[in-house]
């Protein structure tokens, strides 16, 4: 029993952790990779049931080391999918986030890279703006007293420090375009930053949009927060 329990525990976490890499390697389709989450959760649940059975009926012969490892694997296999499900319920099912809901920055140089992306580059307007306004009211146009050149340099440094791949950085037009690739599934999200002069102030807007998926689980909003938080000006 303890060997079966250990195998089940290890299998549950392997099914979970390998779903992303197997998708990136194009061995699994996205639907199949997400199905791996459910399979891992089920196997993890079975593992916990087996552990409870051992604790009740086979306590004298239980192997605490192997049982502890199986329990840890099961908790990971159950906890991670449930955590993602809860996160999905707590944020709107949108994947295009911007600091300017009326006139969001437009992608230009990056359009060729996302030509085959399931999610179109065009902004969907009030259909998603109303949902973002409710979920992320703090995301608004940023204004700085620094010159547009200084703000541009600081914004570029921010995305470079975050490890994004810069596609274009045109100081003359005040536009920066880049993309970020998630580690686990390799999902690619595109970012555009627009910098404009407005009298004595410099305005900065950011937009982050997923190439695939209906809900981003809050990732694009988190990315914009990280970009803005990384802009260091004197």
pLDDT per residue over 147-173, tens digit each? 999 999 999 999 999 999 999 999 999
Domains (range + CATH), the chain: 2-90 (no CATH), 96-229 (3.30.310.80)
- Is the pLDDT at 35 greater than 80? The verdict is yes
Residue 56 has pLDDT above 80, yes or no: yes
Check if the beta carbon of residue 188 is closer than 8 Å to that of residue 87. no
Query: Rounded CA gap, 225 and 206, in Å?
Result: 10
Residue 231 class from Cβ within 10 Å (0-12 exposed, 13-18 middle, 19+ buried)? buried
- Provide mean pLDDT across the span 13-36: 93
Which pLDDT value is given to residue 65?
86
Q: What is the dihedral of CA 196, 197, 198, 204, to 10 degrees?
A: 40
Q: What pLDDT, on a 0 to 100 scale, did the predictor assign at position 233?
A: 87
Higher pLDDT, 58 or 167: 167
Has residue 60 got a pLDDT over 80? no
Structure tokens at 233: 């000006």
């Amino acid at each position: 029993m303890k060997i079966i329990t250990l195998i089940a525990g290890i299998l549950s976490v392997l099914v979970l952790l390998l779903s992303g890499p197997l998708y990136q390697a194009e061995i699994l389709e996205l639907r199949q990779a997400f199905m791996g989450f459910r399979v891992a959760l089920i196997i993890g649940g079975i593992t916990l049931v087996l552990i409870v059975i051992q604790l009740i009926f086979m306590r004298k012969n239980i192997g605490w080391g192997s049982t502890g490892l199986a329990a840890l694997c099961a908790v990971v296999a159950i906890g991670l999918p449930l955590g993602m499900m809860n996160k999905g319920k707590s944020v709107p099912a949108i994947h295009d986030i911007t600091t300017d809901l009326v006139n969001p920055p437009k992608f230009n140089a990056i359009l060729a890279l996302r030509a085959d992306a399931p999610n179109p580059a065009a902004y969907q307007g009030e259909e998603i703006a109303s949902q973002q306004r409710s979920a992320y009211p703090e995301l608004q146009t940023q204004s700085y007293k620094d010159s547009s050149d200084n703000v541009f340099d600081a914004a570029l440094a921010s995305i470079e420090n975050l490890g994004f791949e810069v596609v274009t950085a045109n100081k003359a037009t005040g536009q920066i375009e880049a993309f970020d690739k998630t580690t686990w599934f390799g999902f690619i999200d595109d970012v555009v930053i627009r910098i404009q002069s407005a009298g004595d102030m410099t305005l900065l807007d950011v937009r982050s949009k997923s190439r695939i998926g209906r809900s981003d689980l809050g990732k694009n909003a988190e990315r914009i927060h990280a970009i803005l938080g990384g802009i260091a000006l004197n």
